[in-house]
């Protein structure tokens, strides 16, 4: 099977349901290098070769949905978004499996890692395809987590993540079956206004 056909069997779930309470505004809509965080994340996934992209919305669903109006993606709203990321993962997984029950793997990513671009995602996906691992997870800043690719063998565990936990719970459970891929781009995430300010200042200074 070719690399391209392998990629076609991978679906992407972009998690964008959070309230961004610590930021004080919807960070999905924050702009970086002329584009919103959520659009940057989606462009990275599509440019990495993933054709089916599902975005899980929650808080600020109307505003974020409007931002995605011209994007070739599907969206779903997790009405229970306030309970945590695990619930959004399950919401996305259930929607994906309902429409595409035979997919081979799912890429889970978020929208607040502004340096995770298509090149980084291609590296992660290719490592997954080229290994016998059931998971390929990004490794950065002395930790690991999303973005990560999960084979269909792991889907039941993704569906069972507690609502207030994240994908890292499943990665830890299957660490011996996980390929950790150096992805320093994932080390920068944006949770606080100061994080965003530092990001913009550093980018301006080059």
Q: What is the pLDDT of residues 166-203, one digit of tens each?
A: 999 999 999 999 999 999 999 999 999 999 999 999 87
- Is there a contact between 57 and 13 (Cβ–Cβ < 8 Å)? no
C-alpha torsion sign, points 76, 87, 129, 141: positive
Q: Give the residue, 9 or 148, on which the prediction is more confident.
A: 148
Domain boundaries, the chain: 3-205
Encode pLDDT of 31-73 as tens digits. 999 999 999 999 999 999 999 999 999 999 999 999 999 999 9
Q: Where are the alpha helices (DSSP H) in 131-192?
A: 155-159, 168-173
Encode pLDDT of 70-93 as tens digits. 999 999 999 999 999 999 999 999
pTM: 0.94
CA distance 60 to 80: 13
CA distance 120 to 40: 13
Question: Domain 3-205, CATH 3.90.550.10 — does that match?
Answer: yes
């Amino acid at each position: 099977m070719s690399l391209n056909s392998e990629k076609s069997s991978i679906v992407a779930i972009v998690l964008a349901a959070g309230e961004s309470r610590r930021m004080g505004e919807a960070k999905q809509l924050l702009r970086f290098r002329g584009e919103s965080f959520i659009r940057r994340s989606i462009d990275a996934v599509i440019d990495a070769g993933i054709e089916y992209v599902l975005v899980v919305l929650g808080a600020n669903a109307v505003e974020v949905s409007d931002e995605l109006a011209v994007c070739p993606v599907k969206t779903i709203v997790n009405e229970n978004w306030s309970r945590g990321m695990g619930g959004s993962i399950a919401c996305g997984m259930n929607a994906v499996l309902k429409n595409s029950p035979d997919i081979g793997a799912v890429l889970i990513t978020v929208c607040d890692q502004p340096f995770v671009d298509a090149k980084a995602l291609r590296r992660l996906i290719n490592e997954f395809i080229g290994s016998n691992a059931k998971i390929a997870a990004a490794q950065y800043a002395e930790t690991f987590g999303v973005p990560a690719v999960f084979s269909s063998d792991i889907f039941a565990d993704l569906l069972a993540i507690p609502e207030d936990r994240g994908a890292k719970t499943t990665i830890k459970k299957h660490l011996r079956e996980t390929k950790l891929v150096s992805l320093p781009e994932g080390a920068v995430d944006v949770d606080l206004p100061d994080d965003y300010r530092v990001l913009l200042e550093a980018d301006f200074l080059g």
